[in-house]
Amino acid sequence: MEILVLGLNHKSAPLHIREKVAFPENEIAGPLRAVNSLDGIKENLIVSTCNRVEIVLAAEDKGAVEVLKEFLAEHHGVDRGELDPHLYLHIGGEAVRHLYRVASGLDSLVLGEPQILGQVKDAFEYARDAGTLGLILNRLLKKTFSVAKSVRTDTGIARSAVSVSYAAVELAKKIFGETEGRTAMIIGAGEMGELALKHLVSSGIKEVFVANRTFEKAVALAQQFGGSAIKYEDLLDQLLITDIVISSTGAPHVIIHADDIRKLMGRRKYQPMFFIDIAVPRDIDAAVNDIDNAYLYNVDDLQAVVADNVKGREKEAEKAEAMVGKEVATFQKWVSSLQVVPTIVALRGKMERIRAAETEKALGRLPHLSDKDRQQVKALTTAIVNKILHRPQAVLKEASHTEDAGLYLEVTRKMFDLPDTPEEGAENNGNERTQKD
Amino acid sequence: MDIILHKISLLMYAFATVGFLLYLGHQKEFLSRAGSWLTGIGFVVQSLFLVVRGVKAGHHPISNLFEALNFFAWSIVCAYFILQYRFRIKVLGALVLPIAIVLMTISLTLDTTIAPLIPALQSNWLGIHTTLAFLGNAFFVVAFAGSVLYLVQERQLKNRHLGSLFHRLPSLDVLDRLQYRSLTIGFPLMTFGIITGAIWGASAWGSYWSWDPKETWSLITWFIYAALLHARLTIGWRGRKAAWLSIVGFGAILFTFLGVNLILGGLHSYN
């Protein structure tokens, strides 16, 4: 039995190909069952998002891939010639590693992004409901979730913000603790400012004020955020009850002066203020940052924070890769423990050695036997061994398709004192066997 | 027997500190949990140590500097737990526990024998007065730790240079509230500590206040924290200035506690 992943992602395929090959979420049961009925495929699971399609298989051997590609081309109405160059195939340990990396966000466009784990979990549920999961993929997916979870909690890969607007929220949280109950003001309009405000609102900001030179624009934007529009002349007074200020006007000069804020601070009882100046040229006097309990970040500062965070995530990703590597090895061990054939081979080999040795010994003590008799004795012992082994072999082969396979194999190895990891299978599976075709 | 308990608790606090420091570096949940448990075990053992000392001596275990240092260390860990219950700042232990460890380590170099209490101190007021004063000061020590963390975090935010500590330290708001909460618990305790001392002084020596060096320095400390609390409550002082004043207050505590005993002497010295 071999674990395979056939797929494509944002790196291997452009959007127009990904669109064609994506499986709509609500009708994925059909394709799942169809794939499972393909020749040589025992179990399968399909992860389909806007960035990737991954088909995870437990198949008898690599041959199943060709059949699957044929199915994909036919199902989506794409030419093999158009499809094949964008597909990648991972086999055995590399397939396990790939799945672990995908679920942990290590293979994502934004390193460490959390949504993909939810999407893999959904894919797992669809496959389970469609009945296309068996012993191996069930176990693989459960393991995948626990690996992804520990990557998330034990490394900093998902800790820090990697977009300017999220960086603003992250900073606000480090200043105000919970942003709930705080107020925010946006001055002017602009995509980045509005996005930051949107994130702030969803993190629990109590009240939003909107100021704009054109009052009608302020009213329109205020409606969008459920906030209140304020007159541009009243801006400074309103700052008295504002905690977070996002400024992105097109004004050619500074509109918030340090002196004004300094005067304000005493009246605010030194409640902290956080200024986010997204405007170029800047709206807020740089000296505001020198005032106690006031924090000013301009667009460059925020971008520097993001750049630092991205670097931090990359560093954490190395830790995550190491964790994944270790887990892959563990899973491979389990898979190879399921390999019935090597165990049977080992069992037969051992019996044969015992039989041969004992027969030789006995024949040595019976020199008067003719050659024909000797042949007879040898045939007799071989027949006995075969008869005895017949039933155990059959039971092992049956058990290999059940939950208890590992247990049967372990008991067998223990009873007959066979080596723990069957030499075949275990060695090869862990090796690099990724190929792109 | 009691000294063994002392050493066990010291060892537990040391391990706990290692746990907290490793947590600071590696962010593994179990490290901070291990740190908390070890601190808890250390605290129980240290409590036992103080009880054993008290029973053996027949009075509150505070008759010499060795016992006083340990009682102070115990008070600090006690205050730490009380505040942690509310704030759960995982890195706080990395700063508070070393203070307790230093006090306990200094105490090991001192005379550890149980001294008989001089007659003038044989009173129930001894336990009440010292417990209130020590616990009050202990809360100020935790406030100090919170203030140091505040200043570190504030520096990062102001300089817009977010180092590796940035994500590991809590928000400015939480650190500032920790300081405020510590003050509002510690200040009344210290105030009552001074009042009970005065009452006891009146009954033992016939005067409420005798300008003994420790009394003077306690008063100075009290004024510092009174000013801080006042500034916070009336004009809304907070943040950096409040943090610095709380650090000054910590200096005064250290001097009141160690400097006065070792340099100035007086009624409160443990000789």
pLDDT tens per residue across span A64-111: 999 999 999 999 999 999 999 999 999 999 999 999 999 999 999 889
Please state the rounded mean pLDDT for residues B204-227: 91
Please state the rounded mean pLDDT for residues B105-132: 86
Min Cα separation B238/chain A (Å): 7
Please state the rounded mean pLDDT for residues B125-149: 95
Q: Which site among B173, B178, B235, B241 would you substitute to test the A interface, given the most A Cβ atoms closer than 10 Å to its Cβ?
A: B173
Q: What is the 3-state secondary structure (H, E, C) of chain A?
A: CEEEEEEEECCCCCHHHHHHHCCCHHHCHHHHHHHHCCCCEEEEEEEECCCEEEEEEEECCCCHHHHHHHHHHHHHCCCHHHHHHHCEEEECHHHHHHHHHHHHCCCCCCCCCCHHHHHHHHHHHHHHHHCCCCHHHHHHHHHHHHHHHHHHHHCCCCCCCCCHHHHHHHHHHHHHCCCCCCEEEEECCCHHHHHHHHHHHHCCCCEEEEECCCHHHHHHHHHHHCCEEECHHHHHHHHCCCCEEEECCCCCCCCECHHHHHHHHHHCCCCCEEEEECCCCCCECHHHHHCCCEEEEEHHHHHHHHHHHHHHHHHHHHHHHHHHHHHHHHHHHHHHHCCHHHHHHHHHHHHHHHHHHHHHHHHHHCCCCCHHHHHHHHHHHHHHHHHHHHHHHHHHHHHCCCCCHHHHHHHHHHHCCCCCCCHHHHHHHCCCCCECC
pLDDT in tens, B5-51: 999 999 999 999 999 999 988 878 899 999 999 999 999 999 999 99
Q: What confidence score (pLDDT) does residue A291 get?
A: 95
- Beta strand pairing status for A88-91 and A228-230? unpaired
Min Cα separation B254/chain A (Å): 28
Q: What confidence score (pLDDT) does residue A178 get?
A: 86
Chain B residues whose C-beta sits inside 8 Å of any chain A C-beta: 27-29, 153, 157-158, 160, 162, 166-167, 170-174, 177, 235-241
Q: What confidence score (pLDDT) does residue A107 get?
A: 94
Chain A residues whose C-beta sits inside 8 Å of any chain B C-beta: 153-154, 156, 159-160, 171, 173-178, 266, 268-272, 289, 292-293, 295, 297, 301, 304-305, 308
Q: Where in chain A is the domain with CATH 3.40.50.720?
A: 164-306
Catalytic residue check, A50: yes
Is the pLDDT reported for residue A434 higher than 50? no
Residue of B nearest to A173 (CA): B171
pLDDT in tens, A39-52: 989 999 999 998 99
Q: What confidence score (pLDDT) does residue A423 get?
A: 44
Q: Provide the ipTM.
A: 0.90
Residues in chain B within 8 Å Cβ distance of A156: 27, 167
Please state the rounded mean pLDDT for residues B99-126: 86
Is the pLDDT reported for residue A436 higher than 70? no
Query: In this complex, which of B157, B166, B236 lies closest to A270 when CB atoms are compared?
Result: B236
Is the pLDDT reported for residue B52 higher than 80? yes
Please state the rounded mean pLDDT for residues A350-360: 93
Point out the catalytic residue in the list A30, A37, A50, A353: A50
Is the pLDDT reported for residue A405 higher than 80? no
Q: What confidence score (pLDDT) does residue A154 get?
A: 85
Q: Which site among B154, B171, B178 would you substitute to test the A interface, given the most A Cβ atoms closer than 10 Å to its Cβ?
A: B171
Min Cα separation B38/chain A (Å): 22
The confidence band for B224, taking pLDDT boundaries of 50, 70 and 90, is: very high
Q: Where in chain A is the domain with CATH 3.30.460.30?
A: 2-154
Taking a C-beta distance cutoff of 8 angstroms, is the pair A273, A242 a contact?
yes
In the numeric block, the tokens 């993929």 are attached to A137
Mean pLDDT of chain A: 89
Tell me if A270 and B239 make a contact (CB, 8 A cut-off).
yes
Residues in chain A within 8 Å Cβ distance of B174: 177
pLDDT in tens, B62-101: 888 899 999 999 999 999 999 999 999 989 999 999 999 9
Tell me if A175 and B241 make a contact (CB, 8 A cut-off).
no
CATH class of A164-306: alpha beta
Please state the rounded mean pLDDT for residues B119-125: 81
In terms of CATH, what superfamily is A2-154? Glutamyl-tRNA reductase, N-terminal domain (3.30.460.30)
pLDDT in tens, B144-186: 999 999 999 999 999 988 887 888 899 999 999 999 999 999 9
Q: What confidence score (pLDDT) does residue A424 get?
A: 41
Is the pLDDT reported for residue A171 higher than 90? yes
Q: What confidence score (pLDDT) does residue B112 get?
A: 85
